[in-house]
Amino acid sequence: MDLTGRALRAAAARPRVLPAALPGGTPARLEAERLLRLRDWPVAATPAGADLLLVTGPDCPALHDPLERLWGDLPAPRARVHATTAAEVASALDSGRGRLAAWSGRGSGAQRHAGGNDRAQESPEGGGGHAHGQTDDGDTGTGMPMPGGLPLAETGPDRDGLALDRLHLALGPFLCDWPTGLTVRLVLQGDVVQEAVCDTSAAPGGTPFWSDPWLRAAAGEPVTAGAAARHRAAATCDSLGRLLAVAGWPEQAVAARRLRDELLAGAPAGALRGPADRLARRVGRSRVLAWLTRGIGRVDSGRTGGSAPAGPPGADGDARDRYRRWLDRLGHDVRHLDNPAPLDPYATESPRGPWEPAHPPSAALLALLPALLVGAELATARLIVAGLDPDPEELAGAGVAPRG
């Protein structure tokens, strides 16, 4: 009885997919999330739980090495596919499932291991990504990398003057529910962040997807306020989906992403008001979510003279205040999808805040992020990033020099 073959065929019929989104590939990422939901294929949070690595977006040479490390962490049987555009995602998923099905005839389960020559034969494609709290190279300075890429801890003074171990850890650029193209390099003592640096050097040039209506309107192209409201509402749902997923509420994360996809598909306003109101009511009234995000990532616009880090006015308050503003804005935008008036890109806020071509709002959010992370626990750091949800693509699209 070929029990191994049966198990492999069953896994290939509904593979566990690990998405790896590359900068500049937001449409492909959105299509991948939509199709995975429609096909009911499970999304893996870590390489160890994945069968299929799905890379989306244009090739990014700066992220080839992180992608190879990610691919090396997937256990066999496994497959890797790359969809550079949204139109290629469906065929890429079908191809990946076919490659996994081919494993059913390869023999015993002894092939499901992390080493061996199979790794060099399975996929010639490039791409990018390292899931799940990646570390730096882990080279000790002697040319000998440490096991798993983890560098040795070093000692350093903490805020109380004690000499404690310090661990260097990088979050991103391919964590689940993480801003595409962002890497945050941390120095930890215990589980407390002592230092943080944001690296957006992998962000490509081109037009950022979520800010496209504002860029086109600023260039003199005709864009209606209703079209901008639809795009901003979809961006708000995308941000809400990330925050809710990180906070551990997958049902409402799916609801937010389903509404996002319907907005981008051009669904009429009348069909969207009910789902938008239900989402706002359910999330806005959640006491658990409010308790979880209260006091996290507090920002002071500078007008109140508070002790919190100063940031742009649109980021005022803590993570709870920000997601509640997202819900209010979503309700407003869904009711203005048919507004035929021309868009004034400087009077109407873009998804991340007031739009200025030379100073995109995500630049201010990314500059603010390190100050919010220092002193936070590692688990809280994910919520802080999700509660701001900066878009690194805005920097390259506006001609702002990437940092790294």
Q: What is the pLDDT of residue 89?
A: 98
Percent of the chain with pLDDT over 90: 68
Q: Which residues contact 343 (CB under 8 A, 6 or more apart)?
A: 213, 214, 217, 223, 224, 225, 227, 228
Residue 123's pLDDT band (cuts 50, 70, 90): very low
Q: What is the pLDDT of residue 301?
A: 66
Query: What is the model's pTM?
Result: 0.85
Higher-confidence residue of 114 and 367: namely: 367
Residue 316, helix vs strand vs coil: coil
Cα–Cα distance measured from residue 395 to residue 398, given in angstroms and rounded to the nearest whole number? 5
Q: What is the pLDDT of residue 358?
A: 82
Going by C-alpha positions, the residue among 352, 400, 390, 89 that lies closest to residue 231 is 352
Q: What is the mean pLDDT of residues 122-142?
A: 38
* 78-100: pLDDT as tens digits: 999 999 999 999 999 999 999 99
Residue 165's pLDDT band (cuts 50, 70, 90): confident
Identity of residue 238: D
Percent of the chain with pLDDT over 70: 77
Q: What is the mean pLDDT of residues 290-316?
A: 76
Q: What is the pLDDT of residue 104?
A: 63
Cα–Cα distance measured from residue 214 to residue 333, given in angstroms and rounded to the nearest whole number? 15
Query: How many other CB atoms are found less than 10 A from the CB of residue 111?
Result: 15
Going by C-alpha positions, the residue among 246, 280, 351, 260 that lies closest to residue 33 is 260
Higher-confidence residue of 249 and 104: namely: 249
Q: What is the pLDDT of residue 266?
A: 97
With contact defined as beta carbons under 8 Å apart, do 157 and 149 qualify? Answer: no
Query: How many other CB atoms are found less than 10 A from the CB of residue 252?
Result: 20
* 258-274: pLDDT as tens digits: 999 999 999 999 999 99
Q: Which residues of 207-217 are buried (b: 16+ CB within 10 A; e: fewer)?
A: ebbbbbbbbbb
Cα–Cα distance measured from residue 404 to residue 399, given in angstroms and rounded to the nearest whole number? 15
Worst-scoring range by mean pLDDT, 215-219, 251-255, 332-336?
A: 215-219
